[in-house]
Amino acid sequence: MVNEEDGCKTPTSSPHKIPAALCPPAPRKPKPNRSSGMKRKLTSVHVVNRIPIDLSPEIEMFFEELDRRIKKSRKQ
């Protein structure tokens, strides 16, 4: 029997409680693969027929041309 003088009350017994939300754990960072994570040293077997190339004249020409284009666009 409900006593009307007490008014409304929220039930507090365990069957009426809202269960705590169970969140999944945060995703774990994958472990690095040993074969891809470790760098190998190059041995003489892996280095075959290297030819040194001097590209400094081409690089100089590229930057000179770039500089001319920038100056030309600023004048306009």
Q: How far lies 44's CA from each of 22, 33, 35, 37, 48, in Å?
A: 57, 26, 20, 22, 8
pLDDT band of residue 59 (cuts 50, 70, 90) is very high
pTM given for the model: 0.30
Looking at residue 8, its pLDDT comes to: 86
The mean pLDDT of 8-28, rounded to a whole number, is: 85
Q: What's the mean per-residue pLDDT of the chain?
A: 78
